[in-house]
Amino acid sequence: MPSFGKKMCPYGRHIVAGHARALYSCIIILLQNFLKIIPQIALQPDPEFFKLSLMNYSVLEENADRFVTHVFESPQQVQFPYHNLAHTKAVVDHANEISVFYALNEEDICIINIAAWFHDIGQLHGGMEDHEDRSVLIMNNYLKSMDAAAVFIEAAGNCVMATKYRSNLKTLPEKIICDADTYHFGTPVFRETEFLIKKETEIRSGQEFPQWHEGSLQLLKDHVFFTEYCQLLLGQGKQENIAWLQSLIHSQKEPGL
Q: What pTM does this model have?
A: 0.78
Closest CA to 99 of 255, 227, 218: 227
At 141, is the secondary structure helix, strand, or coil? helix
Residue 120 and residue 135: Cα distance in Å, rounded? 6
pLDDT single digits (tens) 165-207: 878 899 999 999 999 999 999 999 999 999 999 999 999 999 9
pLDDT single digits (tens) 20-47: 566 666 666 666 655 554 454 444 444 5
Phi and psi angles of residue 149, each rounded to the nearest 5 degrees, phi first: -70, 150
Phi and psi angles of residue 147, each rounded to the nearest 5 degrees, phi first: 60, 35
Helix locations, the chain, DSSP H? 10-43, 47-54, 57-72, 85-101, 106-118, 131-145, 150-162, 172-181, 190-205, 212-222, 228-253
Q: Is the pLDDT of residue 209 over 50?
A: yes
Q: How confident is the model at residue 6 (pLDDT cuts 50, 70, 90)?
A: very low
pLDDT single digits (tens) 116-135: 999 999 999 999 999 999 99
Residue 85 and residue 136: Cα distance in Å, rounded? 17
- Cα of 87 vs its chain's centroid, Å: 17
Provide the mean pLDDT of the chain. 86
